[in-house]
Amino acid sequence: DQQVKQNSPSLSVQEGRISILNCDYTNSMFDYFLWYKKYPAEGPTFLISISSIKDKNEDGRFTVFLNKSAKHLSLHIVPSQPGDSAVYFCAASEAYSSASKIIFGSGTRLSIRP
């Protein structure tokens, strides 16, 4: 079941540059999208989300873009910092379902090099 896909298992970016993480989804019923960051031995930490009525949401260094027609979203981190090195999960849910379970992608490991 590949409803949420992150096709890049890893990404290496130089410190100070922009990191762009991509995600595709197949379920047209998804209308709420989230990005989580995960360090080893910790749980996923919520970063930023976007509902389907928007195409962009910004929070500090993090911006999420949503292209509904392409069923694609991306997370931009600028400038990238060493502490951003982690696994990033794209996730989606049907906001108006009874329980809003989250469907996760497989994650992209971001490494910020000095």
Partner 1 sequence: EPEVTQTPSHQVTQMGQEVILRCVPISNHLYFYWYRQILGQKVEFLVSFYNNEISEKSEIFDDQFSVERPDGSNFTLKIRSTKLEDSAMYFCASSVGTVNQPQHFGDGTRLSIL
Nearer to partner 1, 2 or 81 (CB): 2
Nearer to partner 1, 28 or 42 (CB): 42
In the complex, what is the shortest distance from the CB of residue 90 to partner 1, in angstroms, rounded to a whole number?
11
Q: Which of 38, 44, 68 is CA-nearest to residue 56?
A: 68
For residue 18, how many other CB atoms are within 10 A of its CB?
A: 13
Nearer to partner 1, 43 or 114 (CB): 43
In the complex, what is the shortest distance from the CB of residue 102 to partner 1, in angstroms, rounded to a whole number?
6
In the complex, what is the shortest distance from the CB of residue 95 to partner 1, in angstroms, rounded to a whole number?
5
Residues that bind partner 1 (CB under 8 A): 32, 34, 36, 41-46, 49, 51, 89, 95-107
Specify the residue for token string 């981190």: 77
Nearer to partner 1, 13 or 73 (CB): 73
In the complex, what is the shortest distance from the CB of residue 24 to partner 1, in angstroms, rounded to a whole number?
15
